[in-house]
Structure 1
């Protein structure tokens, strides 16, 4: 039995429908990430699971029980918010214990749960402090601790790391991953950051306009995006895409015409007409002019220590990103010819955006 089931879940504000019949089965112990751009409906969907938004249609089931009409306090979930939502006049200990006290938990049980959560999150030294005396990362740990002491059937996270700086985001991402591994709790996590999604998720749900664009394992979405939207959203830097024309080749496969050049993809099903060609930065490489798929001028070179990214301006002004070895000898202003791995090419229907190969 799934821990959380969403069956044709819909949300409307008056005549405006923002969630359009979403179906998701979340397994017990699974870490599911809802990801997508601002306004795609991911936070609304999470708030519907939490009971903070009314459900306009469909059915929501938690632990085998339909909870559409139940208030948040009766859904056996705990939520961690983006802004921590801590009581500023209470100590860390009091913040973590408050929910248990409101539910009538006895003192011994409350103290035991708070101590256990503080140990898990390494916040024992801060139990007597107030939130104003803590860093952003420490406050987020307290918010997580307040959720842990509840011992719920599921944890819900609403962009919990977006208020932290880059270094703290990495640190807290690791903490959340370790916490999930230790507790094996069902988790639904909302973020707009696809790096968070790729590193934390067992499965990712990519949302677009209140609908599921694609759902699957992180590497499945990376290597076989079902649509142009997913291809451009998952991966950093984003996938290179260009409008192209496909023509069946007498030698097998197809000939791609794009940016004033032609090249053959030998192991591709016969396609004809306008398409969108896509290839990731790590699947491109510098080559000799006679072997080139594309050519352009390096406009920017980013040397990140572990790798180098070059941004190549094509004839039409479009930028392609290319990943090189960290010690690669690339220079701004250099003319470069590029080819790629034919098996790593992504072809999309230009009109619908759906994958074709």
Structure 2
């Protein structure tokens, strides 16, 4: 497998700039996931790697070889698309080996590679069937097998699980994880599903508006998001964010005016906080408390009981709702009054104007835990 290097990659459609000078190094054998909202440019970037979109400016190298000027067939990468793109009149074996046949490979070599890929993906019983006789998950495995038999330098996945139902998505996510552990292929995977990103990736690239917001290991992004956008994109339910006034700033931390009282937050760079800041708290870092200890108080508008978890959605006024993770056997009901306080060591602070993160005292331990 080969490393991939993007240097100042840009993509324009006429006067519209959709990818804005992205540089990224992907190590050989690494699994990198591109995530972001619709329209952020993640699929366009993947298609430029594959050669399906021209690069407006910048350099692309795979295995140390410049490939930005080469057509798709000469880049030695394999792409798995959102739809399966299988030939309905061909058998599974014929579909998997078709690319090799088009390259005039020897039939014995085609048969051997198809057999090996079928064993990896547990497709041996289905090699004589046609796509119409397979389930959605089996068809996606055939599409993956077609990529594997090419023995490419890199695999590119463009939202391969989005057409599957929930149960099949979980099954195929596990299959992809096991496949990567087995063959250690350099992989670039596009998805809008953060669960796929968090569970599959060695590193996640969060994109927004054609830019890279942050690159890092999954738990690094979860515990230490660089921007407010990343903080609210990574994590489910999303991080709670509330704009607060700074009441006092001391060497050891700052005091914020929160909705129901005051919050004393330890901060590494206390001098950076003044005026107003955005306070972020994950639902699991808020817990019920007395009214005297409360950071937030209000009425429960919705209670979600998921079996292993219970989430309460607390209306704190000013048309603002915050999410609290409650004990799974909690007996709270909609309409109940609730007061909650945050774990100050796990608070996240962001600059109001730029949305950039301000380092907190718990950040060092969070980074160690992420590693």
TM range, smaller chain: over 0.9
Residues 264-290 of structure 1: CA distance to partner in whole angstroms, max 9, x if unpaired?
Answer: 224552411121110000111001111
- In 2, Cα distance between the equivalents of 1:46 and 1:247? 47
Residues 95-147 of structure 1: CA distance to partner in whole angstroms, max 9, x if unpaired?
Answer: 00100111111111110110111111111111111111111111100000000
Cα displacement (A) at 1:247: 2.8
- In 2, Cα distance between the equivalents of 1:266 and 1:161? 42
Show the counterpart of 1:325. Answer: 327
Show the counterpart of 1:42. Answer: 42
Residues 138-167 of structure 1: CA distance to partner in whole angstroms, max 9, x if unpaired?
Answer: 110000000000111100000000001111
Aligned residues: 357
Show the counterpart of 1:276. Answer: 278
- In 2, Cα distance between the equivalents of 1:103 and 1:73? 10
Q: How does 1:89-100 map to 2 (within 5 A)?
A: 89-100=89-100
- In 1, Cα distance between the equivalents of 2:267 and 2:227? 20
Show the counterpart of 1:204. Answer: 204
- In 2, Cα distance between the equivalents of 1:15 and 1:248? 48
- In 1, Cα distance between the equivalents of 2:251 and 2:29? 50
Structure 2: 5+ residue runs without aligned partners? 360-371
Cα 1:353–1:65, aligned 2, differ >3 Å: closer, same or farther?
Answer: same
Show the counterpart of 2:235. Answer: 235
Residues 45-90 of structure 1: CA distance to partner in whole angstroms, max 9, x if unpaired?
Answer: 0000000000000000001100011111111100000011111111
Equivalent residue in structure 2 for 1:293, among 280, 286, 295: 295
Show the counterpart of 1:114. Answer: 114
Q: Is the 8 A contact 2:38 2:192 kept in 1?
A: yes
Cα displacement (A) at 1:351: 1.2
Q: Is the 8 A contact 1:76 1:154 kept in 2?
A: yes
Where 2:314 maps in the other structure, the secondary structure is strand
Where 1:297 maps in the other structure, the secondary structure is strand
Q: Is the 8 A contact 2:83 2:163 kept in 1?
A: yes
- After superposition, the CA RMSD in angstroms is 1.4
Show the counterpart of 1:353. Answer: 355
Q: Is the 8 A contact 2:206 2:214 kept in 1?
A: yes
- In 2, Cα distance between the equivalents of 1:14 and 1:246? 46
- In 1, Cα distance between the equivalents of 2:201 and 2:248? 39
Cα 1:308–1:106, aligned 2, differ >3 Å: closer, same or farther?
Answer: same
Show the counterpart of 1:159. Answer: 159
Q: Is the 8 A contact 2:205 2:212 kept in 1?
A: yes
Show the counterpart of 2:312. Answer: 310
Q: Is the 8 A contact 1:312 1:322 kept in 2?
A: yes
- In 1, Cα distance between the equivalents of 2:70 and 2:263? 59
Cα displacement (A) at 1:2: 6.6
Show the counterpart of 1:19. Answer: 19
Show the counterpart of 1:175. Answer: 175
Cα displacement (A) at 1:328: 2.1
Cα 1:64–1:320, aligned 2, differ >3 Å: closer, same or farther?
Answer: same
Q: Is the 8 A contact 2:266 2:345 kept in 1?
A: no
Cα displacement (A) at 1:315: 1.7
Show the counterpart of 1:147. Answer: 147
- In 1, Cα distance between the equivalents of 2:251 and 2:59? 53
- In 2, Cα distance between the equivalents of 1:136 and 1:266? 51
Where 1:78 maps in the other structure, the secondary structure is strand
Cα displacement (A) at 1:260: 5.2
Where 1:332 maps in the other structure, the secondary structure is coil
Show the counterpart of 1:187. Answer: 187
Where 1:114 maps in the other structure, the secondary structure is helix
Q: Is the 8 A contact 1:90 1:130 kept in 2?
A: yes
Q: Is the 8 A contact 1:284 1:341 kept in 2?
A: yes
Where 2:182 maps in the other structure, the secondary structure is helix
Range moving further from structure 2, 204-213 or 305-314: 305-314
